[in-house]
Amino acid sequence: MNPATSPTPPPPIQNHQSPIQNSPAPRSPLRPAVVELRTPEGILFTLEPAGPMARLLALLIDYAAVSVILQTLNIVLLMAKIIHADFARGLAIWLQFAAPIAYSLACEWFWRGQTFGKRLFRLRVLDARGLRLQFTQVVIRNLLRPLDLLPLFYLTGGLTAWLSPKGQRLGDFAAGTMVIREPVLFQPDLDQVSPGRFNSLRAHPHLAARLRQQVSPELAATALQALLRREGLDPAARVRLFAELAAVFRAKVALPEADLAGLPDEQLVRNVVDVLYRPRPDRDAPA
């Protein structure tokens, strides 16, 4: 943790179009490429720079939040005016100036790189090297905001972010930060693959073993993802997809037609995935 004791060099940063094999969705030219960071331990993790539209919407939300804060404070100032009108006016001028700055600084520091708007759109300011965000970085990226605003509507910042591989506006560049889109994090629920249904394949341990030998991790992952995402598929596409997957599995291993007669393609794929991802040696073993 201490620089004197752990002089770790910064990890090399590479930009790739998409390191995630199962999500080859085409990227918009407005959206920066995914940034990959390799730790000294050789672990690769990816950061997805936020797109300009999400950042713009987050900014609008933040403007609205600051307006609400100012309106609320103005009510307090109305009361202060009764006591000392000049003091209240002076305070109002200060608030107009300081509230947006204080809002950004406080939110980004105490919420670890997020403001109301960024939270809403799952954006976060991060150190561009993946390290801990420092307070000086938060200050600098906000100090340079007026420059990014020039000449109008964040034109300079928008152009810089568009040209930057990490989507950095000038303030981010100077501060060594970037704004990323946070993925929705949840662990996969494998129960929905085979929620307690009878799996006829388990009656044939040799088939299960052969499936595990013949099916590549990529094919297995494709089948798993097809099952996990099946509710989002168009009905016709769903039928077609599972028919294709079932055909691939049938081609790899000769499945006993007697046991599988009348079994829909989707259920076959479900059974195969269940066998592949949830091996149960005690149950797969011959009685």
Query: Which of 157, 116, 276 minimizes the C-alpha distance to 211?
Result: 276
Please report where in the chains the tokens 């297995």 appear, as a residue. Answer: 220
Q: Contact with other proteins (CB under 8 A): which of 54, 58, 170, 208?
A: 170
Contacts of 193 (CB under 8 A, 6+ apart): 224, 227, 228, 270, 273, 274, 277
User: Across the strands, what pairs with 15?
Assistant: 35
Interface of this chain with other proteins, residues 119 to 148, rule: CB under 8 A:
126-137, 139-140, 143-147
Closest to other proteins by CB, 63 vs 135, is 135
Q: Provide the strand spans (E) within 165-287.
A: 177-181
Contact stretch for other proteins (CB under 8 A) within 2-10, 56-64, 66-74, 241-249: 2-10
Shortest Cβ 1–other proteins spacing (Å): 6
Position 279 contacts other proteins (CB under 8 A)? yes
Q: Contact with other proteins (CB under 8 A): which of 58, 66, 125, 224?
A: 224
Closest to other proteins by CB, 239 vs 248, is 248
Position 227 contacts other proteins (CB under 8 A)? no
Rounded to 5 degrees, φ, ψ at 14 are: -125, 150
Q: Contact with other proteins (CB under 8 A): which of 25, 185, 251, 261?
A: 185
CA 240 from centroid of its chain's CA atoms: 29
Please report where in the chains the tokens 């799952």 appear, as a residue. Answer: 122
Angstrom distance (rounded) from CA 273 to CA 77: 65
Position 97 contacts other proteins (CB under 8 A)? yes
Q: Contact with other proteins (CB under 8 A): which of 14, 33, 46, 200?
A: 46
Closest to other proteins by CB, 186 vs 198, is 186
Position 87 contacts other proteins (CB under 8 A)? yes
Shortest Cβ 37–other proteins spacing (Å): 7
Closest to other proteins by CB, 84 vs 264, is 84
Please report where in the chains the tokens 């044939």 appear, as a residue. Answer: 204
Q: Contact with other proteins (CB under 8 A): which of 79, 82, 93, 258?
A: 93
Q: Contact with other proteins (CB under 8 A): which of 16, 27, 28, 40?
A: 40
Q: Cα Rg for the chain, rounded, in angstroms? A: 27
**265-277 and 205-214 are packed helices; what angle lies between their axes, rounded to 10 degrees?**
80
Residue 151's CB: how many other CB atoms inside 10 A? 6
Shortest Cβ 258–other proteins spacing (Å): 27
